[in-house]
Amino acid sequence: MNVSIHSSWRNQLQTEFEQPYFTSLVQFVRHEYASGVCYPPGNKIFAAFDHSNFDKTKVVIIGQDPYHGANQANGLCFSVKTGVAHPPSLINIFKEIERDIGKPYPESGNLEHWADQGVLLLNATLTVRAQSAGSHQNKGWEVFTDAVIKRLSITKKGLVFLLWGGFAKKKASLIDHTKHHILTSGHPSPLSANRGYWFGNKHFSKTNELLLKMGKEPINW
């Protein structure tokens, strides 16, 4: 696995790539991809960073694992390739957008157009073995992605972090609350959403209100 990542991120994270844990992680991921089917495709592992480079990132959404079904994961959290059926959490995300800002439910579940506007769609773990959820957790990815969040918090100002569900909310401890905006809610998964913890959070309109107040372009969700 060659670490192919946008130069703006490489400049910020070079010290992480040189750490022993990252060397071990690369060896693990190479072996997994060589010995079986893993997702996302190798050239999409760092897709979130390529679409939303460090300098233009203004919103951060944190997920947990890539989708582990065939042809789903494209390197962006909650996103699937165009033409792939929308997973339950993504369905609820689109339903909340429709309720919140009136944008019609889309045909494609590909969120690259969000990422291209500066939304970093960051999974805590960037790879997974096919049909085996969580199979690449605790191998080093979380150390790396925590370092990404810390670097964003330290170096930038006025980011909007969207933390959905208990796992993502724990990442709030990595973020300087005095410099950035943090919006939290339940997870968009059916289990959480059907209990009233997701719908009505209005995170999409609230994010754009915050961006406009800071003189930044809102996101075309």
Quick check: 162 and 60 in contact, CB under 8 A? yes
What is the phi-psi region of residue 8: left when phi exceeds 0, alpha when psi lies from -120 to 50, beta otherwise? alpha
CA distance 8 to 35: 32
| Neighbouring C-beta atoms of residue 94, cutoff 10 Å | 18
Cα–Cα distances in Å, from 153 out to 18, 31, 124, 168?
21, 33, 16, 15
- Catalytic residue positions, numbered: 65
Cα–Cα distances in Å, from 149 out to 34, 82, 86, 116?
29, 28, 27, 19
| Neighbouring C-beta atoms of residue 166, cutoff 10 Å | 11
The amino acid at 203: H
